Amino acid sequence: MKKIISIFIFSFLAVFTVSAQLDRSQRPEPGPAPVIQLGDFESFTMDNGLQVIVVENRNVPVVSFQLTLDIDPIMEGDAKGYIDFAGQLMREGTTNRTKAEIDEAIDFLGANFSTFSSGMFGSSLTRHKTTLLELMSDVLHNPTFPEEELEKRINQTRSGLQTIKTDGNAIARNVSTTQTYGYDHPYGEITTEETLDNITVDLLRDYYNTYWKPNVGYMVIVGDIDVTEAQSLMNEYFGKWERGDVPRHSYSTPTPPEGRRVAFAERTGALQSVVQITYPVELPVGHEDAIKVSVMNGILGGGVFSGRLMQNLREDKGYTYGARSNISPNRLISRFIASTEVRNSVTDSTVVEILGEMEKLINEPVSDTDLDLVKNYMTGQFARSLESPRTIANFALNIKRYDLPEDYYATYLTRLEDVTIEEVQQMAQKYLKPDHSIIVVAGNMDEVPETLEKFSATGTVEFFDAFGQPYEAPELQEAPAGVTVQTVLNEYYDAIGGKENFSKINDLKQVIEIEMMGQKASINQYQKAPDKLRVETIFGGNVVQTQIFDGTTAAMKGMMGSQEFTEGPEFEAMKMQAIMNIEMNYADYGIEKSLEGIANLDGKKAYRVLVVSPEGQKSREFYDYQTGLKIRSESEMGTALYEDYQPIVIEREGERPSFFARLFGAKTPVESFELKFPHLITQQAGGQTIEMNVTEIEINSGIEEEKFSIN
């Protein structure tokens, strides 16, 4: 430790002394690029064709094994998704072990083990490596692809797909993927509910039997092991793996559009638009332009905060929290993509700014400052990556797979330092194509599309669904004569028990159980007429947050402290939430509702009602055509589905008989009525599905005023 401290002090003093002697009036000349010592690796090829790369590192007693198959991308067609499932399910059971036994063995070793569509990875302490390799070998040679595990994965994926329609980034990603690469290219395929229906265990087994062959494989071994021991272990555990003929595939190369296109997809109820500008780019791994293109992209919008897109759209315009661009080499076809998320009202202005920054790089040389900043950032990234032994292994793998020069990575920093201002502009002129790009927007259908027409070479906006397929919004059916928004709402009120009966609620308690991503929590919600509210969020048996509205003040209390509000968005939101039966008295609070027509929701007819808040925020409610019940709502918060309406019977005493009536045996009448509440609410938002089960409802139980005290 003393030695390390001494070195640090010496270095600091040296830098300080030199700094004091610098003439800061002149820009210092850049020094030579540092020489990189990447470390050694050894390789050999087994009799069955498996190529093995060994990176010896004795720093810690750990060793890892990564198998990678060098196969061409495959068109999956109407069963898109099955190749990923094949990779995932390989470790879910073998002819010798069940999934539980594999999991237990890995946990006992304290190891890591995973499989994927084009390989597998395992790591453990050195002393457990033979046990780990025996498990990996078993999974490699004897997978069973259990039917029940496949069904489980399909159901999980299907559930995840339900959230995409409200996830702007997922929508834009799907549209840009299909439109950049095309539907006839493996990079352009999207998993949908329909493709999930066609996935079978036979497809998984066929993929495994066809493509998992050693003669297209690379085994990268990193850690506490030498090449001699590696050869012995590989022969013992993978020597019997039989080689075979593996199909090769080729595809037509996607090209940028002749003129600029605009592709729009609806993001239900969105207040913001996800904007992407993209097109395909030919930039193979190891191409002589790769480093120069990375520098150019870094200046435009790479990982540097000072990237021009970030500075323009965030720091200058205040449109967004972040804006990035990317262009990376790929063995088949790369692509350029610039992306951000902005308010609906500035969607078209954002497109103007992104295209403008691309044009600026094409037409104007960058400054020395911009160039040096990106070079320094990339140098630091590269240096940090060298701290991991796996980096050396991946470098070695890339050199083998893509037939790169042996010194490709050793000379990386020298080639990076040599990039000039002129070359950056040349790369922009060669690879940036603002006039031959696809502008993809996921946003609000009512506000955004018309503002984008001016960017299209044809003057038209193309519409797509959330999965990147061409889309024509189904026309709303006109409501029958005499049906108005009020008749629809009145039918809803009658279906759930009637406005008059709901007006008899003095207080209401609901207990809601929540499950999201395997985590469970609960909410206790208390309301008291006319406008008092308390919401307790409980996790692990503890109240982690409490929200209160006492009629005049809103408060939030949690583990990080408490806040009170008497104005602002938080205050207004809780104030509206606190009002008892607000949806039955919406007009009293400045809420506007209008009937748009009859929509088709997966074969079920429903009245669609537009709701506009006093602040101008729009949402939609859907009421079942047959039952009158509200079954769905859409807003910027996502989509909510209302199901499992159940009646709650409320009893209360009527007017007491007179004294003489009671004298002759008359009893106080008991009034009873039913109110219906949905007991299952599924919220889909932000790429997540939240299931809310109402487990308890209490009405007029006499909730004390103290429950709503903020102090």
pLDDT tens-digit readout, 142-192: 999 999 999 999 999 998 887 787 788 999 999 999 999 999 999 999 999
Q: What's residue 568's pLDDT? A: 85
pTM here?
A: 0.78
Q: What is the pLDDT of residues 43-62, one digit of tens each?
A: 999 999 999 999 888 889 99
- How far is C-alpha 283 from the geometric centre of its chain's CA atoms? 26
Q: What is the pLDDT of residues 280-337, one digit of tens each?
A: 999 999 999 999 999 999 999 987 778 999 999 999 999 999 999 999 999 999 999 9
Buried b (16+ CB within 10 A) or exposed e, 61-80: ebbbbbbbbbbeebebeebb
Query: Mean pLDDT throughout 685-692?
Result: 75
Q: What is the pLDDT of residues 235-291, one digit of tens each?
A: 999 999 999 999 999 999 999 999 999 999 988 767 789 999 999 999 999 999 999
Q: What's residue 560's pLDDT? A: 78
The two three-digit tokens of residue 345, written as one number: 């009202």
Q: What is the pLDDT of residues 502-561, one digit of tens each?
A: 998 999 999 999 977 677 899 999 999 999 999 999 988 889 999 999 999 999 998 778
Q: Which amino acid is at 666?
A: A
Q: Which of 19-28, 132-141, 448-457 shows the lowest mean pLDDT across its residues?
A: 19-28
What does the alpha-carbon distance between residue 297 and residue 288 come to, in Å, rounded to a whole number? 15
Greatest Cα pair distance in the chain: 112
Give the Å distances, CA to CA, from 588 to 390, 575, 582, 583. 65, 14, 9, 10
Q: What's residue 660's pLDDT? A: 63
Q: What's residue 649's pLDDT? A: 87
Position 17 pLDDT exceeds 80: no
Architecture category of domain 261-382+403-464 in CATH: 2-Layer Sandwich (3.30)
Q: Is 666 in contact with 672 (CB distance < 8 Å)?
A: no
Q: What is the pLDDT of residues 67-119, one digit of tens each?
A: 999 999 999 999 999 999 999 999 999 999 999 999 999 999 999 999 999 99
Residues 6+ apart with CB under 8 A from 504: 650, 652, 673, 700
**Which residue, chain included where needed, has tokens 């067609």?**
77
Q: What's residue 39's pLDDT? A: 59
189 DSSP assignment: -
Position 667 pLDDT exceeds 70: no
What does the alpha-carbon distance between residue 185 and residue 77 come to, in Å, rounded to a whole number? 10
Structural fold of domain 485-708: outer membrane lipoprotein receptor (LolB), chain A (2.50.20)
Give the Å distances, CA to CA, from 216 to 67, 84, 139, 210. 10, 18, 18, 11
Q: What's residue 635's pLDDT? A: 81
Burial class (CB in 10 A: 0-12, 13-18, 19+), 527: buried
Q: Which residues lie across from 183 on neighbouring strands? A: none
Q: For 113, list phi and psi in degrees, rounded to 5.
A: -155, 125
Q: What is the pLDDT of residues 614-646, one digit of tens each?
A: 888 888 999 999 999 999 998 877 788 999 999
Position 19 pLDDT exceeds 80: no
What does the alpha-carbon distance between residue 277 and residue 275 come to, in Å, rounded to a whole number? 7
What CATH code is assigned to 42-238? 3.30.830.10
Domain ranges of the chain: 42-238, 261-382+403-464, 485-708
Q: Is 141 in contact with 90 (CB distance < 8 Å)?
A: no
What does the mean pLDDT of the chain come to? 88
Domains 42-238 and 261-382+403-464 share a fold: yes
